[in-house]
Amino acid sequence: MSGLVLLNGNPFSAMDMMWISFYSMGFMAIAMGLIYLSRHKIKNTIVSSILALVSYIFLIIGFLTMMFVVFTW
């Protein structure tokens, strides 16, 4: 773990990785809720499409940050 450093020069600690994984799970939970809203609750196709796009962006961010945690720890 000596190769990963923050912008201020300090190395990542276990607590930093824990918070990153919590943010990742939060992004995935938000994506799940937004997909549910866009598919089942919102009838306007334009709003539904925008909401689905935002939720997929959250899902991709959550996936990438979780892969960062898994492969660097």
Distance CA 57, CA 18 (A): 22
The model's pTM is: 0.81
Q: Per-residue confidence at 3, pLDDT binned at 50, 70, 90?
A: low
Q: Would you list the domain boundaries of the chain?
A: 21-72
Q: Which amino acid is at 27?
A: F
Residue 1 and residue 72 in contact, taking contact as beta carbons nearer than 8 Å? yes
What pLDDT digit, counting tens, does each position of 24-67 carry?
Answer: 999 999 999 999 999 999 999 999 999 999 999 999 999 999 99
